[in-house]
Amino acid sequence: MIDVQHEAGIATITMTHGKANALDIKFCDTLTASLKALRGPDIKAIVLTGQGRIFSAGVDLKQLSAGGADYVCRFLPSLHRLYDAVFFHPKPVIAAINGHAMAGGAVLAACADRRIMARESGRIGITEMLVGVPLPALAFEVVRFAVPPRYLPEFALTGATYPTADALAKGWIDEVAEPGGLMARAHDAAAFYAGLSPEAFTQTKLQVRQEVSERMVLSGAATDKKVTEIWLQGETLARVADYVDKTLNKRA
């Protein structure tokens, strides 16, 4: 599911969960545990990437549809813990986006401190509205934090996805690298952050993300309660099943 390599204080996490790095409970929990293990003083920065042409396709809708309401109730907290582990990680995190970053995968990329995408490698965007589910509280706050405010309604309400040039112009990513140089560029960025004062970086990162923390304390629980209710509705589960049948199964 995950390959972790260490070099000169930089940990590279490569997601290797099937073809699409789809987010299911086991994968989320495994990735979360790996991130938590990379908090020691020997780790100076982290690069997070995928394999092949996909960074992450987002939530494993096939498994969610098959698991029904019980699975949803277990999955949403697992997804929250993953985003929390990346977004509030005390170390610098660089997302080396090697290909498509869709829905929950786009949110995962947005959790990083810097997002570098390989040129013309795929598309990025949150497609939840096309499936009929709202973003959980932390996922939405991560996107709100990461993208320019003027584009947030477009991103959240339309389900649009963007190729690399448009993603850069609209703020989904910070930088574009040539496909063959993506990892080298990501490691250069990680090395820059690794050279900073670790204590000063961690404190400043917390301050930069303070508004997200405050929003979660203020309304996170209430938002997630409503979001979970919507995800559990029979109509929602039927929409997900229909999307899986008409879209995902046709690609198989």
What the chain holds in terms of domains, given with CATH numbers, is 2-182 (3.90.226.10)
Nearest CA to 36 among 72, 11, 60, 14? 11
Tokens 């309401």, residue? 69
Task: Report CA-CA distances (Å) from 94 to 76, 90, 111, 228.
Answer: 24, 13, 9, 30
What is the layout of strands, in order, in the sheet containing 10-15? Answer: 2-7, 10-15, 45-49, 93-97, 114-118, 175-177
What gap in Å lies between CA 98 and CA 49, rounded to an integer?
7
The confidence score (pLDDT) of residue 247 equals 77
Residue 180 pLDDT more than 70? yes
Q: What is the pLDDT of residue 252?
A: 52
User: Which of 124, 112, 114 has the alpha carbon at shortest distance from 55?
Assistant: 124
pLDDT, position 246: 85
The residue to which tokens 């850069």 are assigned: 168
d(CA 231, CA 234) in angstroms, rounded, equals 8
Residue 250 confidence class, pLDDT cut points 50, 70, 90: low
Chain position carrying tokens 């690794």:
194
Total-model pTM: 0.97
Nearest to 132 by CA among 56, 228, 231, 63: 231
**What pLDDT is attached to residue 71?**
97
Nearest to 95 by CA among 135, 242, 69, 87: 87
Taking 80 as the threshold, does the pLDDT of residue 248 lie above it? no
Find the helix or strand (DSSP H, E) in which 89 lies: none
pLDDT at 214 over 90: yes
For the stretch 16-44, pLDDT in tens is: 999 999 999 999 999 999 999 999 999 99
Region 141-165: what's the mean pLDDT?
Answer: 98
Predicted pLDDT of residue 207: 98
